[in-house]
Amino acid sequence: MLIMLSSNYMATPKTRLLFCFLLCTIFHFQLSLQDPQDEVGFLVQPDYVNNNMLQMKRDSRKRCDFSVGKWVYDESYPLYDPNCPYLSTAVACQINGRPDSDYEKWKWRPNDCSIPRFDALRFLGKMRRKRIMLVGDSIMRNQWESLVCLVQGVIPTGRKRVTYNGPAMAFHAMDFDTSIEFYWAPLLVELKKSPENKRVLHLDLIEENAKSWRGVDILIFDSAHWWAHSDQTSSWDYYMEGNNLIRNMNPMVAYQKGLNTWARWVDLNLDPQRTKVIFRSISPRHNRENGWKCYNQKQPLPFFSLQKHASEPMVVLKGVLKRMRFPVYLQDITTMTALRGDGHPSVYRKAINQDEKQKQGKNHSSDCSHWCLPGVPDIWNEMFSALF
């Protein structure tokens, strides 16, 4: 930038001093734009701007609302081979004979920001010497398999392994001293057998599960699907709270009580300087009960009205998180995922012949809850990676 002033105007000491001040200010401003610490890409503000505002701007990418946006077709996807050896049979849709593959090529584009493409080496570098644990139900297992497949391709064969320990399994990236673990706890709180062989859901007990969560650097939770099961598919016979055995209870009241027990444990036992906690919202189903089906769906839905099974748990979850002292990040994937009726295994949850496919499709007997991999959970993990 060049400022031209006449020699007459430059004559007085006061104007010369003003000119020097302007040049110094411009030079300082240009240097500030080149600040190597300015990784988010905002303009560095003058020193008198509140430090909290600077930090908020530096964290603008992390604070972006990933939940509002649209699905866009991207030929560069999927991010890993459908033959990833860590996929369970139920979600390996290509191996099971699904004839189309466009469901692998949709990327989520938020309205006000972008989600960086998953970079396995960068992610493992950020997670060096850390334990990541995904805690929850089979949808969380879905996400765990996705995350393992996203990273495993850059690790030499002899430097990765999976170990099993009761309700837990862990993928180890040895050169990074990183573990990506899954812990089976679909209700978070404890489900036990009574002396009468009845299944009792203890709404105020959690330590039996939670003892395995101590010492973990990043915890990702989900819990909703099992709470919404009907009487016919319920996993328990009774609720218990304190010494009170309860036969019937509104499922969302029970869900809130269970989440409150989880929240109290997190508040009392975890240090936010040591552990980061994320809670992933419910992943909607697309079955007949919700007015949709997923068989033979081949592209994202144009719209989806969230049904009771998805909207009520979300309200409960937000209420519980709001009352917590511990800063939990809510990963809201509910609305964006509701649009992806094409991404479920449907009848391709196992290898079947064409007659079976047609028969099951007509009867709507297909898996419209879990997700084909590669597929939708890969985007959840890109969102997760973008937080670090």
Q: Return the structure tokens found at 169.
A: 């399994």
- 169: Cβ contacts below 8 Å, ≥ 6 apart: 144, 162, 163, 181, 182
Give me the pLDDT at residue 380, please. 98
Neighbouring residues of 160: CB distance < 8 A, sequence distance ≥ 6: 152, 171, 172, 173, 174
What pLDDT, on a 0 to 100 scale, did the predictor assign at position 59?
46
Tell me the residue ranges of DSSP E strands in 189-295. 190-193, 199-202, 218-221, 238-241, 244-246, 276-280
Mean pLDDT value of segment 105-120: 95
Task: Note the pLDDT of residue 235.
Answer: 86
Angle between helices 138-152 and 376-386 (to 10 degrees): 70
Structure confidence at residue 301 (pLDDT): 87
pLDDT at position 230, please?
60
pLDDT average, residue stretch 342-359: 77
Lowest-confidence range among 62-76, 222-236, 348-362?
348-362
Q: What is the pLDDT of residue 309?
A: 67
DSSP 3-state assignment of 218? strand
Structure tokens at 324: 């917590």
Q: Is the pLDDT of residue 341 over 50?
A: yes
Q: For residues 44 and 23, what is the distance between their CA atoms, to the nearest angstrom?
A: 18
| Among the ranges given (48-52, 90-94, 341-345, 375-379), the one the predictor scored with the smallest mean pLDDT | 48-52
pTM over 0.85: no
- Of the pLDDT bands very low, low, confident and very high (cuts 50, 70, 90), residue 359 is low
The rounded radius of gyration (Å) of the Cα atoms in the chain is: 26
Using CA atoms, how far apart are residues 151 and 376, in angstroms rounded to an integer?
Answer: 16
Label residue 293 by pLDDT band (50, 70, 90): confident
Q: Which of 138, 217, 237, 364 is catalytic?
A: 138
Identify the pLDDT of residue 214.
96
Mean pLDDT of the chain: 83
Average pLDDT over residues 324-337: 96
Q: What is the mean pLDDT of residues 330-340?
A: 94
In the predicted model, is pLDDT for residue 358 greater than 60?
no
Q: How many CA atoms lie within 13 A of 373 on its CB side?
A: 29
Q: Identify the pLDDT of residue 38.
A: 31
Share of the chain above pLDDT 70, in %: 77
Average pLDDT of the segment spanning 249-273: 97
pLDDT of residue 295: 86
Domain 66-386 is found in CATH 2.40.50.100: no
Residue 304, pLDDT score? 74
Domain spans of the chain, in order of start: 66-386
Query: Quick one: average pLDDT of 85-108?
Result: 95
**190, pLDDT greater than 90:** yes
Report pLDDT digits (tens) over 151-172.
999 999 999 999 999 999 999 9
Question: 53 falls in which pLDDT band (50, 70, 90)?
Answer: very low
Alpha helix positions (H), the chain: 13-33, 51-58, 60-63, 120-126, 138-152, 207-210, 251-269, 308-322, 334-338, 354-362, 376-386
Active site residue 138: yes
Q: What is the pLDDT of residue 41?
A: 25
Of the listed ranges 108-117, 236-245, 279-288, the least confidently predicted one is 279-288
pLDDT of 33 > 70? The answer is: no
Residue-level pLDDT at 336: 94
At residue 234 the predicted structure's pLDDT band, cuts being 50, 70 and 90, is confident
Which member of 137, 222, 332, 367 is catalytic? 367
Query: What is d(CA 92, CA 299) in angstroms, rounded to the nearest whole number?
Result: 18
Quick one: pLDDT at residue 350? 85
Residue 349 has pLDDT above 60, yes or no: yes
Task: For residue range 268-291, list pLDDT tens digits in order.
Answer: 999 999 999 999 999 988 876 555
pLDDT at 40 over 50: no
Which of 202, 286, 309, 370 does the annotation list as catalytic? 370
